[in-house]
Amino acid sequence: MKYFGTAVFFVLFATAGLAAQGRESSRGFYDYSVESIDGKSIELKQYKDKVALVVNTASRCGFTDQYKELQSLYDKYKTKGFVVLGFPSNDFAMQEPGSNAEIKKFCALNYKVKFPMFAKGKVLGPAKQPVYQFLTGGKNFGGEISWNFEKFLVNRNGQVVARFEPAVSPLDPKVTASIEGWTAASK
């Protein structure tokens, strides 16, 4: 009887763990909350009706001019249910040393950025912010971020559907074709 009780306890414990694991893995991108560049708590579910290009950014990087292209993409496709979401990070060669206010000012003055920007945070390693744990933790498009301006395309259901390396221009035909395909398919 003693062993039966232990076995029942083990089965219940294992089942509860699997159920919790299933709930966690069923989370989508839009189930997370983040901090805006202005310090406000933002629930990403406000973008759920949109296809999102999520980009880790930096102001002192060889790819920083991609801000201009990201803004161009945002302007071109925002009426079709598309949004660019910028996440500044100082994880790569200390290329984003500024405060959130300095980053916001830099982006507005130099690139006229109007797409949503979020607070500077970690996108690499065990201390990365939860939304980046989600983005980099998937089977199909998972793996650590390689550098600034890595791009994830997220559909309206919160699933990562494409990933583009930092050197790939936001205006590259494979990026725009993916955006066009997902905005058309997701209506």
In a domain, 174, yes or no: yes
In a domain, 56, yes or no: yes
Catalytic residue among 31, 48, 60, 61: 61
CA dihedral 22, 25, 31, 36 (to 10 degrees): 140
Phi, psi of 145 (to 5 degrees): -65, 140
The CA distance from 118 to 63, in Å, is 18
In the three-class reduction of DSSP (H, G, I as helix; E, B as strand; rest coil), residue 175 is classed as helix
Domain hosting residue 115, numbered range: 29-185
Residue 21: pLDDT above 70? no
Cβ-based neighbour number of residue 45 at 10 Å = 14
Question: In what side-by-side order are the strands of the sheet with 82-88?
Answer: 82-88, 51-57, 151-154, 160-164
pLDDT in tens, 1-13: 554 444 433 333 3
In a domain, 5, yes or no: no
pLDDT in tens, 82-141: 999 999 999 999 999 999 999 999 999 999 999 999 999 999 999 999 999 999 998 889
pTM (2 d.p.):
0.86
CATH of residue 71's domain is 3.40.30.10
In a domain, 24, yes or no: no
In a domain, 14, yes or no: no
In a domain, 78, yes or no: yes
61 is catalytic: yes
How many folded domains does the chain comprise? 1
The CA distance from 39 to 18, in Å, is 36
In the three-class reduction of DSSP (H, G, I as helix; E, B as strand; rest coil), residue 128 is classed as coil
